[in-house]
Amino acid sequence: MKITQFDKNEHDRKSFDCGNTELNNYLKCISGQHEKKDISRTYVLTSELNPSHIKGYYSIAVAQVSLCELPTEIAKKYPSEITCSLIGRMAVNHTCQRQGLGSILLIDAIKRIIQASSAIPIPMIIVQAKNEDARRFYSEFGFVSFPDNYLKLMMTLAHAKAMLKEAEH
């Protein structure tokens, strides 16, 4: 398997179906526009044997977080509103679900964000879960819910680095 930046000329987005219309439409109709406008970057998981077939994808972007949204113990560490990395969309093709590919995509996204943080300061990673199942999935990796929105989750970059280090051992 291979994860690369989405290329509409190389990857078959039309046949992608994760079972969620909003996530399908993002890949098929919006991700290319966001790429051109530097709003987000989309990465796709493909196989070596069929590099045009998309098994799954995620997008990453930046997001502003107001300190009043954060738990007090985290908010007190920052002087004002902070810019974070956002894993905006993540989905696995329905033919590939329940094979651990969501975990592979999430770990890759976190690694890319950590790598970017060496050039651009990123204090935390934010995700917006679509439902309770997605919230549980992110929680298993150490993401914690915002106090006033349990489907919006965060992970400090320090925690992300520690989680990856622990996973490697």
> Under DSSP, is residue 29 helix (H, G, I), strand (E, B) or coil?
helix
* pLDDT for the residue 69: 86
* pLDDT for the residue 52: 92
Q: What are the backbone dihedrals phi and psi of residue 161, each rounded to the nearest 5 degrees, phi first?
A: -65, -45
**pLDDT value at 12 more than 80:** yes
What the chain holds in terms of domains, given with CATH numbers, is 2-168 (3.40.630.30)
Structure-block tokens of residue 119: 């050039």
The residue ranking higher by pLDDT, 41 or 96, is 41
118: left (phi over 0), alpha (psi -120 to 50) or beta: alpha
* pLDDT for the residue 169: 66
**pLDDT value at 168 more than 80:** no
Structure-block tokens of residue 104: 């592979």
The residue ranking higher by pLDDT, 73 or 162, is 162
Instruction: Give the Cα separation of 127 and 166 in Å (integer).
Output: 21
Residue in 22, 19, 27, 20 with CA at minimum distance from that of residue 43 = 27
Structure-block tokens of residue 113: 């964000």
**pLDDT value at 114 more than 90:** yes
The band of 48, judged by pLDDT with boundaries at 50, 70 and 90, is confident
Please provide the size of the chain in residues: 169
Mean pLDDT of the region 69-94: 88
* pLDDT for the residue 3: 96
